[in-house]
Structure 1
């Protein structure tokens, strides 16, 4: 098995020796042993661990979370590699969509037919929504949700998105009914179940999301495109549903 000095490992991975010192100090990446002169020595296992750390850093994980993941008793290297592969695939797909957005803009510019099409901003909007969600619910929870989605195939993700749209369409057909009507409540239940596929959604959060569907113009515009008043009905339905579930 090959062994590496700290300077050799730093050169191999493209990081500084100081970074490896820091990883050792916090217990994230410790050497396999020491030379007779007291210098740190690393083997292939630490090389793989360092790759894991640097990949998580590329995916913008904080060091504390990386350490928590890698030091859990059931940590499995192969599973972790596959998970990172899925997360990276999602990141690549997003960058490709951004590239397509720029291609569209360049094409419009070169043909002198620039418009105010939403295609100019749609991918930025997704990034903005993610940032706002992280501020509201916490970065760890958003990453957990992203990891759950990354485990789904493209077809399954498409089906999930389609389900959300079907719920909105169904509610739009109930605008003549009160929020506590049985038919409306069936859609509220489906909305809750749908949200839980993205991650934990306790009743308190469900109520907050219901408020957001109305208070945030972007969400209201999305739901009201199926019928004016759909966002308000959804909010009221979720409020009534949450209250009924919380009642003793």
Structure 2
């Protein structure tokens, strides 16, 4: 058998052989049904929903994290600015404090100077006042040097001449002293100031006034205001010691 005949037989065999490898119509329909997506189950749907929610939560967390970072960055920046502002304020306050301290020191120096000046002036004023008071005291002593105070007698007259004569007569009658009287005037109830003509008459009256003991008539030397203040202090001390 030649080669040509063998080839012919092979081709004839192929035509006679049933084509089992080619799919039938039913097989084609079944194959197409496999290609169609099947309906997901409830579990798969829940899983998909959970996955979706997780993604949403992740997205939300990421957004919150981003917002928090931005807020923290802003907060840190504001804190830094506030700290710098406080530092600037402190620096200004320190500068003002130094300036104020210098002003206070200058002011204290001026106050001390004024106080020293015032102390000096006050001492001078006190010295002048003491000198003036001493001068007034001497003048007053000179003015009342020959004066006495007569208390306890009643002289019914307002005429200065009659009053002077009445006092001179009473002194002569009660003390047996012929004293010259320049003038006399009332200073209270049954109380008179008598100005004598000389110092010797006053001394004589004061020496003999002890004869008035037991009577309502009293005689004492007229005192200056300073002497009266001293007498009052002496009486107060004596009263406390009793």
On whether the aligned pair clears a TM of 0.5, the verdict is no
Question: Which structure carries more relative contact order (alpha carbon 8 Å, separation 6+)?
Answer: 2
Report TM bin, short chain. Answer: under 0.3
TM-score by length of 1: 0.18
Q: Give the number of the structure whose residues are more often strand, by fraction.
A: 2
